[in-house]
A and B are shown apart, each in its own frame.
Chain A
Amino acid sequence: MTAAVLPSFRAFSYHWLLYRRTWKGSIVIGLVNPLLFLTGIGIGIGKLIDANSGGVDGVDYLAWLAPGVLAASAMQMAFAGGGFAAFREATPEGSYASAAATPLSPTDIMVGQQLFATARVALLSAGFVVVQVALSAAPSLSGAALAVPAACLTGIAFSAPMAAWAVTVRRFTTLQTVFRFIVQPLYLLSGTFFPLTSAPEWLQKLAYLSPLWHGVQLCRGLSLGTLTARQLLVHGSVLIVLAAGGLIVARVTYRRRLHQ
């Protein structure tokens, strides 16, 4: 009778159905924007850099930049899929209220949202990597492919804490402020576009605190095949702790919001 599906996948299926309507819009933010960065900065400015200093860390600037943009756009998509989406769905016009009236628990609804946010990151990251390979910006195919799960981990390290917080927020402008003053600076200053070793020391120290820096390092290390076991452990752990912490807090904030 009843389909044997985990309850959170039932919540996910709603987002998925809606996404089939709106995927074109998300392609722009998720795929077109990062590819513009990749071609505009990677190819354009990359030529200057490569001619001047022979690339970065021993590789072409384009190949160095690509995994950074991948991680940064994963963060941005996660903010949309975790933060903005959770905020919107928790409003009276959103879908959470009607989902909460069904056997789904607030945790099912929360996990469904995270599954969707992560699926979106996975799809668009895969699309990004395909173009990256086509541009010959990937030294190794397997490395570039491994960067996709790393981008997903980067995504959920943002989307889970963001969702946990967003369902407690009452005004949309609060989210926009965070996007402008936290997400955007992170995008630019987490070693995405230039190696932090060339940045002032205070910025380097600040960047170590940035979750995105860990995501960038993980994606780049995998993509270029330079990741050491220790780096994998450190950067992976930071992201996993953020994701797990976000999920744990989100369980509480979702319950408080949906079962008042």
Chain B
Amino acid sequence: MTTAGRELAPTSQGAEPLVLAYGLTKLHPARGGAEPLLAVAGIDFELSRGEVFGFLGPNGAGKSSTMRMIACVSPPTSGTLRILGMDPLTDGSRIRARIGVVPQDDSLDSELTVLENLLVYGRYFGLSRAIVRERGAGLLAFARLEDKAGQRVETLSGGMRRRLTIARSLINEPEVLLLDEPTTGLDPQARHVLWERLFQLKSQGVTLILTTHYMDEAEQLCDRLAIMDHGKIVAEGSPRALIDAHVTREVLELRFSDETRERSTATVAAMAPGPLTPRVDLLPDRVLLYTDAGDDALAAVHAAGLEPLTALVRRASLEDVFLTLTGRSLVE
């Protein structure tokens, strides 16, 4: 199934996008009493070499299902998907030989040592022991695990395990690296170490495709983002462009006391759409007032006789984009 009018064949060797999807759909059939699930509902995207592309969305948005299809371990139900110029249905093995996968659960063998995990994985790619040892030394240095080579994986911390999973995924020197929720479950320090490692990979020219439900991660790491919700891509672009296109420059966050909340929120809500703000979001615990001039908006709030408990003017973020596009928060 191809979208009419689109040219799918590569025009020249270098011109075809790294990954290309049109109308990509994944329907998980009903099983064990569960309803059939339309995890991915016809999405289009193109990824180019060298970029960091992120799928941002809440749990259940279809990010992981999309990643599994790109990783060639989940055949699309319908639509077109081409990876490295090949069809995953017929060339899955050849595609997998050229990509790296960092799954959400590390899926390391905790009974084996760090180095043995690399050896086993390298063998899966048909690499000789000598090559894996040679590459493994460099990869463990990259993952800052060089002094852990002989230790069993069960002794490693969460951050170390994740870095080892990344090192393992690079054993075949992949052109594309898929990372599913790479920093979920890590503490802030471990996250920063990981981000820094991913930046280094990017600077080496590895294309990174990742999923996340952390907007700071998406903003820091990704050149381009697809925001997903209910199996669909609701917006796509660079983090900056998404913010510019869908929300104002700044957001005024207001919290009110229980006694005044009802009256105050009504007053604020009446300010939109107006000269200062095109839109106001009323959340259970706070009010978001979108504006290009946060301080002026706050002055207007005070002028209206309102006394918020807290008032914060901040730069608009991807979180606001997501809220604007879907009416829901990314992290509930």
Contacts and interface: CB of A to CB of B under 8 A. Distances in A.
Contacts of B111: 18, 21
Contacts of A233: none
B74 interface: yes
Interface string B104-119: 0101110110001001
B75 interface: yes
A104 B94 CA distance: 10
B74 A18 contact: no
Interface in A88-104: 92-93, 95, 97-104
Given A10-B124, A14-B123, A103-B97, A260 B28 contact: yes
B124 A102 contact: yes
Interface in B42-96: 68, 71, 73-75, 92-94, 96
Contacts of A99: 124
Given A5-B126, A18-B109, A98-B107, A103 B94 contact: yes
Nearest to B117: A98
B39 to A, nearest CB: 10
A105 B128 CA distance: 19
A205 interface: no
A161 B71 CA distance: 29
Contact of B126 (A7, A18, A21, A258): A7
Interface string A10-25: 1101100110010000
B28 A18 contact: no
B92 A2 contact: no
Interface string A139-176: 00000000000000000000000000000001000000
Which range contains the number of B residues in contact with the other chain? 20 to 34
Contact of A10 (B74, B97, B126): B126
Nearest to B126: A2
Nearest to A104: B124
A170 B111 CA distance: 23
A17 B123 CA distance: 11
A49 to B, nearest CB: 45
B107 to A, nearest CB: 4
A1 interface: yes
Given A95-B109, A258-B73, A103 B123 contact: no
A101 B71 contact: yes
B127 A101 contact: no
B120 interface: yes
Contacts of B92: 105, 259
A105 B68 CA distance: 15
24 contacts: A1-B127, A2-B125, A2-B128, A3-B127, A5-B123, A10-B126, A14-B124, A21-B111, A93-B105, A95-B109, A98-B107, A98-B121, A101-B103, A102-B97, A102-B121, A103-B94, A103-B96, A103-B97, A103-B124, A103-B125, A103-B126, A105-B93, A259-B74, A260-B28
Interface of B: 28, 32, 68, 71, 73-75, 92-94, 96-97, 101, 103, 105, 107-109, 111-112, 116, 119-121, 123-128, 131, 172
